[in-house]
Structure 1
């Protein structure tokens, strides 16, 4: 009876959101779609500071995981464990932290308080906020939309939704922008090349002609898109391919490897690649994320017209305008204060210590007005918690040796490049032990609630006493800053997850 009621509730929910298909849900088993693929994620472990006091990782502003999780919950099922990337959940939201001062490209925000899910542990919040460049004042854009029109894109949550999303975007194009449309299915085609952005009727007519049919030729489509991007290249401008697909390329692993190499090479020539993911059932999240990473782009998952509006209208500057590239963060913890630490999320963004100063090592980019948040769970010195030893190669010339700078908790170093430069610059910030507070800001409270939700959804061994009720209470207390009501929606999603878990 419980299973029957769940199916009825799911069917009713699908009717409410206006979906014509059940998103590939297996009604007999009640399990998530089996054709979807996700890269395996293993939670970052606690690391003893005496074993390795330095943590290095790449910035990440992707948000695809959160909207994909929302899609699962709207289907009435919990997301697959590896679909949950906590850093993308946290960075989906806007945080009310100070913008950089005049003449600065970035502001560094930090807070240090208690870990809500683990008594005796602390939680460190690090935030980076870039300068906000008005889109109307930014350089010209050469945008090549590479659109998957294969048969797998037929359903209403794929190509039809994509077309609606692009209708929103073209209303914001300027005379200095160029737009091209390349399609791929069984063959590739250029529908529009270097289109005049002021001739919106021409662009709309090209979009109206899009129809889904045939097999998938993703590799040849990407090659053609780069050819078109080069022919319309804007010196000093924003040259970007935007791949829109469900990721079902029908190509082997060797071909995927070749695509990554091509995308990386063209990235170094000034043509970036971002990804808009659509659909369900055969969704290839692992491929989509990897292609965007190699292309110095951002990866979004579009599950609704509201999400398309968020990405292509409300956050257009952050989506399209890169202000910092190859952004790397390195945190050196003081062993006099920190017994062990754990970076939460960013598992596929962790870098080797040597990568930090290596300007040839690719890392994440940050757009205009973006806020990037990272959390560390910290076990303070004196805690009885036991942490396993992990062997690391020794590092020379570290700042802390357990006997100096006893008032300091850590030093945060940030390396980045200007969008057109190949040599990095560095910013450093010292965080003192006295930064600890028992009354963190509402931004800390909300961010930590999102982290805790991710720990629960992943069934992480580090979830401690996490609970849906605690998440709801903390997030609800932080709704004062809620542009476009994304935080309110988060609370509703947590409530849905709680109900699904209780039903199971």
Structure 2
């Protein structure tokens, strides 16, 4: 006792110079009320800036002195500050975080989900609300316009490898329905397809390629293609994975194209797992629960049995499910591994009074944990695309829409690495246009991924993530300098200030400079790469098959959106170009696009009013 008193006194004296040698505190982090151990909690000493994590028993040990403050944090729990006294063995109790979750009660009935009453359950209290027919929701898109490079020379946006819009639009067209304009995101339609790009060979995770040709829908304009290709990594060299399957089992998932298709999809993924991979299963309906603790990928039958046993029914508490999934992922975190939540849902859940805004705040809270998220969307009628797009875009994730087993195979087996293993994060693209060559430019798509010019060099601003073998394609339509164009409009000469004259000379051979930034998945500092685009216009029939096909997809998207900038776009033109640019098309995706465009043309003609 005397020794401990002496040590405490010595520590108190030495605190003045910020040190106390040989002192250590150990203990446990437990859940308040239940006393259950909390694995994966972080315990940080404010003075030493050292952080330790609790083990599977909730135990920790950290260098500390009398008077030090320990900060204890865990996803799903309130953060706690503990001021140390003389006791060097302590128990720290964390309270579960209270989340305001609005839940819509639904029950399974005769093969489909129906709302059980005209009431909304808010934290267990029924509040009357008017009955609403199920409807799909899409975030509003304000289409990009033509921009004068003298006024705005820089165009900046985050890379986007999501592909959900294309398969969702395909689903609607096959049902004989013209998709709503806001469901058509041209960049996701472009990036649904794989392109034959050369992979980087110099150790960089991403390689850039550009091409310039004539715009198919306006021969006076130019079309610039910017393509990024992520490196390929053999499956056996991919890092070990810590997966958490987060599965919506609420009543709205009862239908055949929802939970049954989810089960088939995830079983395909289980077949891809290796012995060093691990999977946990979290489900949510009225509340969130752990259906399978983290299990080795070698126990495939055990994982599949847990998936098969899932049943739909009950209300929808998506926010609680997300919090629980991040908590489980954090508890089983693999350093320098692939830590990822795979969420399967129709998106029909609510968080707070303003669901989309609260969903964004919720996911932003967790995105710096080193845990990524992949969203797999299912179903129709009550499909909430807007929520799932937010989760993917704001949570360092990607998003695919699964409408049939073939699409599940494409997303989960054919593109296994690209969908689930990040090789470059926060990828941003910035293009500087030369006003001596460019009168105006327009980015086709990417409306919800635009960034301020200064965000490009700001590493705290997130971009998009690229996975193994992923490709990103972006198209710019360009009005050449000196062209008389009705599409961009005109303004009168300025009276009170001199208009700048673009610099010529040594830059006359350049149309633009393309820069892109990316981070290593384990770094917070970005790297910069760039390439110049020469003013060499290649005839449309001589550019790559990929470019011609991508231009057809963009034209298709503009027609479906009834774009103000579609100009002389036409179905016969894009269909002929896509058919000629199919390439090898081993899986038949490009030929399927041709047939889809033909169906869309017939459907739109049938709806025309004389």
Q: So what's the TM-score if we normalise by structure 2?
A: 0.74
2:589 is aligned with 1:480? no
Q: Give the conservation status (yes or no) of the 8 Å contact 1:91–1:373.
A: yes
2:514 is aligned with 1:408? no
2:315 is aligned with 1:215? yes
**Mapped partners of 1:166, 1:478: distance in 2:** 33
Deviations 1:174-232 (A, max 9, x none): 01101011110012211111112111111111011111101101111111111111111
Q: Give the conservation status (yes or no) of the 8 Å contact 1:443–1:478.
A: yes
Cα offset, 1:34, TM superposition: 6.3
Q: Give the conservation status (yes or no) of the 8 Å contact 1:180–1:194.
A: yes
**Mapped partners of 1:34, 1:475: distance in 2:** 36
2:439 alignment counterpart: 339
- Larger relative contact order (CA 8 Å, sep ≥ 6): 1
2:376 is aligned with 1:298? no
1:13 alignment counterpart: none
Root-mean-square deviation (Å) = 1.8
1:464 alignment counterpart: 567
Counterpart of 2:366 (choices 241, 266, 288) is 266
Q: Give the conservation status (yes or no) of the 8 Å contact 1:274–1:299.
A: yes
- Contiguous gaps of at least 5 residues in structure 2: 1-110, 113-132, 492-499
Tell me how many residue pairs correspond in the alignment. Answer: 467
Q: Give the conservation status (yes or no) of the 8 Å contact 1:266–1:272.
A: no
2:79 alignment counterpart: none
**Mapped partners of 1:489, 1:186: distance in 2:** 40
Q: So what's the TM-score if we normalise by structure 1?
A: 0.90
2:345 alignment counterpart: 245
Cα offset, 1:119, TM superposition: 2.6
Cα offset, 1:98, TM superposition: 1.4
Counterpart of 1:116 (choices 216, 221, 229) is 216
**Mapped partners of 1:494, 1:142: distance in 2:** 40
Q: Name the structure with the higher strand share.
A: 2
Cα offset, 1:471, TM superposition: 1.3
2:552 alignment counterpart: 449
Deviations 1:451-486 (A, max 9, x none): 000000000011111111111100000112313111
Counterpart of 2:525 (choices 415, 423, 441) is 423
**Mapped partners of 1:271, 1:145: distance in 2:** 13
Q: Give the conservation status (yes or no) of the 8 Å contact 1:277–1:301.
A: yes
Deviations 1:321-376 (A, max 9, x none): 10111111000011110100000000001110110000000111111100100000
Counterpart of 2:188 (choices 88, 92, 116) is 88
- Contiguous gaps of at least 5 residues in structure 1: 1-19, 22-32, 391-397
1:58 alignment counterpart: 158
**Mapped partners of 1:54, 1:496: distance in 2:** 38
1:499–1:150 Cα change, 3 Å? same
Deviates more, 1:101-110 or 1:174-183: 101-110
Q: Name the structure with the higher helix share.
A: 1
Deviates more, 1:303-312 or 1:249-258: 249-258
1:498 alignment counterpart: 601
2:232 is aligned with 1:129? no
Cα offset, 1:166, TM superposition: 0.9
**Mapped partners of 2:353, 2:336: distance in 1:** 34
